């Protein structure tokens, strides 16, 4: 039980590399592109162009920030609708120019605020889920820290989903789950175990393809390893209709085993 909650704590550690650290470590020549072309620019989501060895890619990351000031400016990595809309704009741009998309996910969840609701947080996430499902270029998502519910999934409808060994991915925070189920947020450790939110859990449930080692995390060899895996994986993914058909099959299978053999 507590093993799962230890992962949650590790995933939240402020010393972990953030999205921008990964971008700097894995890619070269990152050019940040701002704004959703609708209403604003959300610093909780960073996106732009970069080079992955030889090829141009679009990279999108949820960024928590490091310094107290930067963390506050980035809303601690809790995106607003503008962030999700910027991400979608950049994905559509990637599709236009035939660039693979790499998403780095690290959020406690989409922001729960008045403005976020007024500007359609639910609609923004829904649109990303829909549009990502048919994007005609390879999409790989990596959960690098916290994968908080719909706010994480909004960058995670992909051909491959990978998780760092201490990342977590959950439909609700263990604290939130505990306070609903047991009326006691103090039972978060227990809830964390029940929620099956570790990388191992996600892999055995068929939700992710790969668990990435955190050996030498933050060092050049760590990023080099991920770079190599991305290059290889993108090489194996098809393009266009074939790619989209496979992505649908992948998504279609999610949770299907849970409903048993019942056919109607």
Contacting residues toward another protein, per CB under 8 A: 110-114, 116-123, 125-127, 129-131, 133-134, 149-150, 153-154, 156-157, 169-172, 176-177, 180-181, 194-197, 201-202, 205, 207, 247-248, 251-252, 254-260, 262-264
Q: How far lies 232's CA from each of 64, 126, 140, in Å? A: 28, 30, 12
Neighbours of 84 (CB within 10 A): 28
Query: Which CB, 48 or 176, lies closer to another protein?
Result: 176
* Shortest spacing between CB 230 and another protein, in angstroms: 21
Neighbours of 258 (CB within 10 A): 7
Give 55's strand partners. 52
Query: Which CB, 195 or 226, lies closer to another protein?
Result: 195
Query: Which CB, 207 or 231, lies closer to another protein?
Result: 207
* Shortest spacing between CB 193 and another protein, in angstroms: 9
HSE (CB half, 13 Å, CA atoms) of 35? 4
Query: Which CB, 186 or 255, lies closer to another protein?
Result: 255
Give 170's strand partners. 148
Residue 161 parent element (H or E):
strand 160-164
Return d(Cα 145, Cα 157) in angstroms, integer.
17
Angle between helices 174-181 and 2-12 (to 10 degrees): 130
Q: Determine the number of helices (DSSP H) and then strands (DSSP E) in the chain.
A: 12, 8
Query: Which CB, 49 or 197, lies closer to another protein?
Result: 197
* Shortest spacing between CB 29 and another protein, in angstroms: 32
* Shortest spacing between CB 63 and another protein, in angstroms: 19
* Shortest spacing between CB 175 and another protein, in angstroms: 11
Query: Which CB, 56 or 179, lies closer to another protein?
Result: 179
């Amino acid at each position: 039980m507590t093993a799962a909650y230890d992962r949650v704590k590790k995933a939240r550690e402020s010393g972990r590399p953030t999205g921008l650290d990964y971008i700097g470590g894995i890619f070269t020549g990152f050019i940040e592109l701002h704004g959703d072309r609708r209403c604003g620019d959300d610093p909780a989501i960073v996106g732009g162009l970069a080079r992955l060895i030889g090829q141009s890619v679009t990279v999108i990351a949820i960024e928590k920030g490091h310094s107290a000031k930067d963390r506050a400016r980035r809303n601690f990595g809790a995106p607003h609708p503008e962030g999700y809309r910027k991400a979608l704009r950049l994905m559509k741009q990637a599709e236009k120019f035939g660039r693979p998309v790499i998403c780095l996910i690290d959020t406690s969840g989409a922001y729960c605020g008045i403005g976020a609701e007024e500007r359609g947080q639910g609609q923004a996430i829904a649109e990303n889920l829909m549009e990502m499902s048919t994007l005609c270029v390879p999409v790989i998502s990596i959960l690098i820290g916290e994968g908080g519910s719909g706010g994480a999934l909004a960058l995670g409808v992909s051909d491959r989903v990978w998780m760092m060994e201490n990342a977590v991915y959950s439909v609700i925070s263990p604290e939130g789950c505990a306070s609903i189920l047991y009326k006691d947020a103090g039972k978060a450790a227990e809830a964390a175990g029940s929620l099956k939110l570790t990388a191992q859990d996600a892999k055995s449930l068929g939700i992710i393809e790969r668990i990435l080692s955190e050996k030498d995390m933050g060092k050049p060899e760590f990023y080099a390893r991920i770079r190599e895996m991305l290059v290889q994986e993108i090489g194996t993914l098809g393009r266009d209709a074939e790619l989209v058909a496979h992505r649908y099959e992948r998504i279609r299978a999610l949770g299907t085993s849970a409903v048993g053999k019942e056919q109607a």
